[in-house]
Amino acid sequence: MVVCSCGTPNSVGGSGPEDATPADATESDLAPDNEREDGCPLASRCLGGLVERCVDGRFGEPELCPLGATCRDGACRALDDRARSQLKSLETIRATWENRAGWPSFIDADAVADSLLAGDGTDQAFFQAARDLALATRQGHQVIVLVDHDACAPPHMPRQGWSRFAVCGRPLGDDVVVTYARAGNVLGLVAGDRIVGLDALRGPALLEAAARRPVCGGGAVSEAYRRETAAASFFGTLPPSSQLDVVSAQGASRSVVVPAEAQPMGSLLDCRDPFGRAGEADIASWIREDGVGVIRIASFAPGAPREWSDTEEYEAYLAEVTAEIAEAFDQVKDRPALIWDVRGNGGGYSSIALQIVAGMAGVTATSLFTCAYRHPDSWPPAYSSALSESFAITPGGPFVYGGNAAVLIDGLAYSATDHFAFAVARATTVPLVGSPTAGAFGRSGLIYEVVGPPAMQFTVDPRYCTDATTGEPLEGRSVNPTVVVEYDPKDLAAGIDTVLERAVALLLGSGG
């Protein structure tokens, strides 16, 4: 991608003059004219980062401000050092992603600059521009967070997938359905309530606006991930004093005003699991009254450190987690039907996930995909065969199971969980039930830092993964379920997990 570095205020990192006041900006350009003119409420006004001037009683076409300036408070104003530094930070993130990341890259540098310049100069404007940058890249594992992780908090830049009102949501058509709500939450919401509007936002605009609100987290590797994270983060990013339009599971409508004050930190809830169970055991199993066994795996890397001191420590960890999953499996493997629940599983180690697939019904030896590392600064992208890694299924191992099984997935099934779902679909006869996965087939990679302000960290995934059968790139390609299921509000109101029950009915031959 060719990026103009000619210094216009519409280009990230443009080489503008060092002086805060551009040489070609006049006093009238840089100061608002408060005189009213016939037919215009003001002599000039801002439209994004552009200025509209009133001429002969009408506003003219939007114009660029002079070099190094942008429109704020109705007039062109010179950029200060803070704004210049923020633009440079955004350009560093964009350039690093383009130069180090794998395919694909869809970053519009001008649009990201415009997002910042159209803002009001506050931290929130910078957060929004960073969010727009993340959303412009359809690749997983490319995350933007604040260096001060404790500052990743509602309402301005919360953690992705967290709620500040003890309520969790998932997409239901164009709406957000409440899948879990703690008793006594300040919004008065209960499971099964549908959010059908937020102020003037209704229809597709409801989830789209939620997806664009700044968060400490990733972008939109796929449409499935974009929708799912928008709904999972919905109750963490709600604008204070906004109004929710709510429809109960029984069809009654009401309005709820979001409190202006942020809730106590103790009310924060991790909603990456649809039922708020993310803080519970990462690996758990149980037997239902109908005899069906269930194994829930919230992570394929529970408690893992960011780095390992040596290979022995790493291998010991893999063995420990595999043994923990095997213990959960042993408690239910004598059941005639078994369900693996990986909804909301943010990934981890694929070697662990693929061992489970190796024991599933109908499994065959299968080559899955290959991932190679991109050479930095190569364009068109070039990849290293010496650093490639291939993934395959070899039947057998500790998870052999001969009964009927199903796997529950959703748009937050990410990274190693994408690998897991892909392997189930490609190498077994086991059905996938739920909604499409995230489609993040790379892995966590390099960490960089920019000064902002505020200072931010961002990560880069330099891998390029391709389907072993077709050769097609996998990044951004969700794994689709065999049986598509959305949450039913009446089920949720009654405490019923619609997706789980559909899978049970499918295995027991009573429906689905």
- Residue range 431-448, pLDDT digits in tens: 999 999 999 999 887 899
Q: What is the pLDDT of residue 264?
A: 62
Provide the angle, in degrees to the nearest 10, between the axes of the packed helices 416-427 and 350-357: 20
CA quadruple 353, 358, 363, 368: dihedral sign: positive
CATH topology of domain 283-441+476-508: 2-enoyl-CoA Hydratase; Chain A, domain 1 (3.90.226)
463-483 pLDDT, tens digit per residue, is 999 999 999 999 999 999 999
Amino acid 154: pLDDT: 82
Question: Quick one: which H or E segment has residue 285?
Answer: strand 283-287
- What is the pLDDT at residue 511? 52
- The mean pLDDT value for 492-496 works out to 98
Architecture per CATH, 151-270: Roll (2.30)
Cα 349 from Cα 357, distance rounded (Å): 13
The candidate with the shortest Cα–Cα distance to 376, out of 464, 306, 300, is 464
CA 44, distance to chain mean position in Å, is 38
Q: What is the DSSP string of 12-72?
A: TT----SSSS-TT--HHHHS-----BTTBSSSEEEETTEEEEEETTEE---BPPSTTEEEE
Question: Of the candidates 430, 272, 420, 422, which has an alpha carbon nearest to the alpha carbon of residue 338?
Answer: 430
Locate the domains of the chain by residue range.
27-135, 151-270, 283-441+476-508
Report pTM: 0.86
What pLDDT band is residue 77 in, cutting at 50, 70 and 90?
confident
pLDDT digits 0-9 by tens, 123-148: 998 999 999 999 988 889 999 999 99
Q: How confident is the model at residue 266 (pLDDT cuts 50, 70, 90)?
A: low
Q: Give the DSSP H or E segment for 502.
A: helix 498-508
pLDDT of 446? 85
pLDDT computed for residue 262 by the predictor: 58
In single-letter form, the type of residue at position 498 comes to T
| Fold agreement between 151-270 and 283-441+476-508 | no
pLDDT score for 469: 95
pLDDT higher than threshold 60 for residue 36: no
